[in-house]
């Protein structure tokens, strides 16, 4: 069986090379798979595709793979894959759930504290020997209310960590509830929370959930942390709220149209390949970067050696599941049957 791996980082290659079952022939590609990637006939013959979230497996991309049977995303989320096309064409989709439940929750508080305690500013001032305590007056978490949007495995870990800071907690999740956490409506969470943490997968129902209307419902000076998906926040509405001081601090690990961002392992997309809406979002993101109360990181909340190890182990497990696969085989990590 032929497998093609996109978005392959250098630290992934050895593990995958040493553990991919001998039943597979495979190709490693550093770049993401999208409509701008030049596909060779060899690649088009793939029966298995493995990708990360930087790939965009829309219908037009997937049509190039007539033999495709399985997609293995090395992520929890799968909003970058056209599931409707997969369902119509009997393509089975696997993910890697729960690999970063603690990882992303820990990042959430790391980014939050870094931002509200002005650590970046203080570190740079020490290096330049220009210490000024007035520049580092921060905000405590003690006794504040944390509202978590998306109380799945990651969100629940965020709620648990908040207890250690002696914060009050609220949760909003239209698909989950239990007796351990305090669930409430979205409106009440927005109105009651000093800190709002977004930990929900991107769905058709929560695109731009944090918009101008919902920001208006928040407390004056609310703080937002987003380690989920950039498209859950309307960037323009967020930028305006920061300028108006409705929002006091923001820590973002994700942004709208983050595929524009360059990295050492992928080519930057040329202007001719970008959607017009993404040029607008990129402009707004650049303006956000210049604000002193904003922290932006490059979608790295998952990025620990422990989490990467879990991703790779589950990817190999998913590859093994594809061998002699049948719909009633009870395969783990199956998103779409």
Residue 229 falls in the annotated catalytic set: yes
CB-based contact 194:223 (threshold 8 Å) = yes
* Annotated catalytic residue, options 12, 256, 258, 259: 258
Strands across the sheet with 195-198, in order? Answer: 168-172, 145-149, 195-198, 222-226, 247-252, 294-296
Alpha-carbon distance of 18 to 255, in angstroms, equals 35
**CA distances in angstroms from 4 to 49, 80, 286, listed in the order given:** 5, 17, 34
Alpha-carbon distance of 307 to 293, in angstroms, equals 29
* Annotated catalytic residue, options 229, 231, 256, 259: 229
Closest to 94 (Cα-Cα) out of 63, 51, 64, 65 = 51
Residue 213 falls in the annotated catalytic set: no
Taking only Cα atoms into account, the Rg of the chain, rounded to an integer number of angstroms, comes to: 21
Residue with tokens 């009870």: 330
CB-based contact 177:148 (threshold 8 Å) = no
* Annotated catalytic residue, options 74, 80, 118, 299: 299
Residue 140 falls in the annotated catalytic set: no
Packing angle, helices 10-19 and 305-322, rounded to 10: 40
Query: Hey, which residues are catalytic here?
Result: 229, 258, 299
């Amino acid at each position: 069986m032929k497998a093609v791996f996109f978005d392959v980082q250098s630290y992934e290659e050895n593990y995958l090379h040493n553990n991919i079952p001998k039943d597979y022939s495979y190709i490693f590609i550093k770049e993401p798979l999208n409509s701008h990637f030049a596909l060779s006939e060899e690649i088009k013959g793939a029966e298995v595709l493995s990708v990360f979230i930087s790939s965009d497996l829309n219908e037009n991309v997937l049509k190039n793979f007539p033999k495709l049977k399985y997609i293995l995303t090395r992520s929890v989320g799968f909003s970058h894959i056209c599931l409707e096309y997969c369902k119509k064409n009997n393509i089975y989709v696997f993910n890697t759930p729960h690999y970063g439940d603690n990882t992303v929750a820990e990042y959430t508080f790391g980014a939050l504290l870094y931002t509200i305690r002005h650590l970046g500013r203080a570190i740079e001032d020490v290096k330049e020997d220009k210490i000024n305590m007035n520049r580092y007056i921060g905000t405590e978490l003690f006794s504040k209310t944390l509202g978590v949007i998306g109380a799945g495995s990651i969100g629940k870990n965020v709620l648990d960590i908040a207890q250690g800071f002696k914060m009050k907690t609220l949760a909003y999740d239209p698909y989950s509830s239990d007796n351990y956490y305090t669930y409430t409506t979205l409106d009440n969470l927005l109105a009651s929370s000093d800190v709002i943490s977004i930990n929900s997968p991107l769905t058709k129902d929560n695109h731009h959930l944090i918009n101008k209307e919902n920001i208006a419902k928040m407390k004056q000076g609310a703080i937002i942390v987003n380690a989920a998906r950039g498209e859950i926040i309307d960037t323009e509405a967020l930028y305006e709220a920061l300028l108006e001081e409705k929002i006091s601090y923001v820590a973002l690990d994700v942004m709208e149209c983050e595929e524009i961002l360059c990295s050492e392992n992928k080519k930057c997309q040329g202007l001719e390949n970008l959607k017009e809406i993404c040029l607008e979002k990129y402009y707004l993101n650049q303006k956000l970067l210049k604000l002193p109360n904003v922290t932006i990181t490059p979608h790295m909340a998952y990025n620990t050696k422990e989490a990467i190890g879990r991703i790779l182990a589950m990817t190999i497990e998913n590859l093994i599941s594809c061998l002699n696969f049948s719909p009633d085989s009870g395969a783990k990590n199956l998103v779409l049957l």
